[in-house]
Amino acid sequence: MAQLYPFTDPVAARTHGPTVMMSGEGCCVTDTDGHTYLDAVSGLWCASLGFSNDRLIAAAEGQMRQLPYYHSFMGRSAQPTEQLAAKMASLLPGDLNHVFFGCSGSEAVDTAAKLVRYYWNARGRPNKKRIIARDAAYHGSGIISASLTGMSYCHDGFDLPDVAVLRTGRPSYLHDAKPGETERAFSCRRARELEALIEQAGADTIGAFIGEPVIGSGGVLPPPDGYWEEIQAVLARHDILLIADEIITGFGRTGAWFASEKYGLKPDLMTMAKQLTGAYFPLSALAISDRVHDAIAAGAHDLGTFGHGFTYGGHPVGCAVALEAIAIYEEMDLPAVVMDRSRMLEAALEPLKSNPAVADVRLAGLMAGVELHDKKITAQTLREAETRGVLLRQIGATLAISPPLIVSDEEIAQIVSVLSDSLANAT
């Protein structure tokens, strides 16, 4: 095998080889053996407009012909990069009026973590370096972003250096609530635990808290009632920045332009990728509030330069694709369409709730998780569904569903009926 496959058991990869995709049409992909699959997880939660959008392809081609590359270093930039920054500043909530571009989500998270340090140094509080992250969070595979990630398999074997991460509990009501505890009481307890952690470590050593508004790769965990309100009250009391990792949720996935709007987060920094270009080009962005930006700019001026950037960050082809994706989202009235699809998916999943094999059905817009009691049955259901032509994703005992945002009524019905049949066959 010439490729070292990400998040794959290399021995299994050698034995079975990968399913190699060759072409895409709408929400479907076809492999080299001619099997067509309805991709109910949009690749990796990202192919929001499916796999054959002519407008995105034309935007990429047009920009390739016009100017295939330019950077944003040392006082230069490219037209679509400037346009996209301005467009995003107009769309982003609150005072997130500044944007830094990278290529991957991990780069956006690593940048956010570095900016936390830069910001507090510029503010004359160099001890505020630690970042609090949660169990079951996924924030990427860079050195800092992997350290922030709460899954042990992202740490095992790597001996990651100590980058001053503190960890707090995941917002899983199903698994972590005490008997008789309401969702609200559970959220308050999580906030009290956070505050105890901060007080124990010393608020003057903690720069930021990072969280996905809805946890994705950790099992599709929408926040329990009152969660973000309680967490943010603690952060405000201790002057701790909030980083919203919207790499999955940004641009419509939860039925709002940004999940921060839906769940009442007021972040100082916000990471985005995936839906930003519908995955037709690797591009990520970090949105920065006025307060953080102004302190960083002042600090950079004192130091002579802002010493951080990526050769391909803000790539003009990616930015042209993102501008077109946003234009499509605006024309289709993205939040309304996603909420409509979400209600349809929720209704279709409803009967599964009474299936004895099912522990929980969770949903936030077009992110859904069907958790089973037995992980082995989850794995078996996943395989069954694949043989029946529907691609799902296994996260522990949970099957994740996150179809392209253009998914049709018929496709939603097909996803859920294949899932139900596969489950019936697996149990």
Site residues (vs ligand PLP, CB under 6 A): 44, 104-106, 109, 138-141, 212, 216-217, 245, 247-248, 273
* DSSP code for 319: H
Whole-angstrom distance between the N-terminal and C-terminal Cα of the chain?
34
Q: How far is the CB of 348 from ligand PLP (least distance, A)?
A: 25
Q: How far is the CB of 218 from ligand PLP (least distance, A)?
A: 9
Q: How far is the CB of 347 from ligand PLP (least distance, A)?
A: 27
Strand (E) or helix (H) holding 317: helix 316-332
Q: How far is the CB of 338 from ligand PLP (least distance, A)?
A: 18
C-beta atoms surrounding 346 within 10 Å: 14
Q: Which residue has the tokens 């050593």?
A: 205
Q: What span, in angstroms and rounded, lies between the C-alpha atoms of 21 and 83? A: 33
| Residue placing its CB nearer to ligand PLP in the complex, 140 or 252 | 140
Q: Which residue has the tokens 């699959």?
A: 37
Is 313 within 8 Å of 378 (Cβ atoms)?
no
* DSSP code for 221: B
Q: What span, in angstroms and rounded, lies between the C-alpha atoms of 385 and 174? A: 25
Q: How far is the CB of 323 from ligand PLP (least distance, A)?
A: 20
| Residue placing its CB nearer to ligand PLP in the complex, 141 or 408 | 141
Q: How far is the CB of 350 from ligand PLP (least distance, A)?
A: 27
* DSSP code for 177: P
Strand (E) or helix (H) holding 289: strand 284-289
| Residue placing its CB nearer to ligand PLP in the complex, 216 or 404 | 216
* DSSP codes, 366-426: TEEEEEES-HHHHHHHHHHHHHTTEE-EEETTEEEE---TT--HHHHHHHHHHHHHHHHHH
* DSSP codes, 50-73: -S--HHHHHHHHHHHHH-S-----
| Residue placing its CB nearer to ligand PLP in the complex, 18 or 351 | 18
**Which candidate, 209, 216, 265, 201, places its Cα nearest to that of 240?**
209
Q: What span, in angstroms and rounded, lies between the C-alpha atoms of 269 and 212? A: 12
Could you tell me which residues are beta bridge partners of residue 243? Answer: 210, 269
**Which candidate, 81, 119, 116, places its Cα nearest to that of 102?**
81
| Residue placing its CB nearer to ligand PLP in the complex, 248 or 370 | 248
| Residue placing its CB nearer to ligand PLP in the complex, 148 or 418 | 148
Q: How far is the CB of 113 from ligand PLP (least distance, A)?
A: 12
Q: What span, in angstroms and rounded, lies between the C-alpha atoms of 368 and 383? A: 18
| Residue placing its CB nearer to ligand PLP in the complex, 285 or 419 | 285
Could you tell me which residues are beta bridge partners of residue 408? Answer: none
Q: What are φ and ψ of residue 344, in 5° steps? A: -65, -45
| Residue placing its CB nearer to ligand PLP in the complex, 151 or 177 | 151
| Residue placing its CB nearer to ligand PLP in the complex, 111 or 121 | 111
Cα angle at 4 between 144 and 15, to 5 degrees? 135
Q: How far is the CB of 298 from ligand PLP (least distance, A)?
A: 29
230 CB-near residues (< 8 Å, 6+ apart): 187, 188, 190, 191
| Residue placing its CB nearer to ligand PLP in the complex, 188 or 273 | 273
Residue number of the CB closest to ligand PLP reads: 105
Q: How far is the CB of 398 from ligand PLP (least distance, A)?
A: 15
| Residue placing its CB nearer to ligand PLP in the complex, 96 or 286 | 286
Q: How far is the CB of 44 from ligand PLP (least distance, A)?
A: 6
Q: How far is the CB of 182 from ligand PLP (least distance, A)?
A: 28
